[in-house]
Amino acid sequence: MKITVIYAKPNCQRKVEIDIPYGATSHDAIVASSIESLWTDMDLNKCNIAIWGESVPKGYKLKDGDRIEICRQLNLDAKMLRRKRAKGGIKRARG
């Protein structure tokens, strides 16, 4: 079955399309895609996984055409970011 694995950073995105056997899990597909080798700072143990924007466990059984999104950890805690904005330390991105 055909699966797409995506990992995005603020300035770039990588998309790898692979063909894996039926019954494979999201973790199997990520390993088969070798997408982790593209970034030295990626730690799959700390990343969440989503299929078409919906969070799933790493053992999720894939369906043909699924798009796996590897979700990075946030650089800043959302609550801390709001506090910094309120104090005027960080400006909101426009665009």
Strands 54-56, 48-51: pairing kind? antiparallel
Q: What percent of the chain has pLDDT over 90?
A: 43
Q: What is the mean pLDDT of the chain?
A: 85
Domain that holds residue 48: 2-86
Contact indicator for 46, 73 with CB cutoff of 8 Å: yes
Please list the residues that pair with 49 across neighbouring strands.
Answer: 56, 70
Has residue 91 been placed in a domain?
no
Give the CATH number for residue 77.
Answer: 3.10.20.30
Has residue 13 been placed in a domain?
yes
Bigger pLDDT: 12 vs 67: 67
Bigger pLDDT: 82 vs 75: 82
pLDDT in tens, 29-67: 999 998 888 777 777 777 889 999 999 998 999 999 999
Residue 50 is predicted with a pLDDT of 94
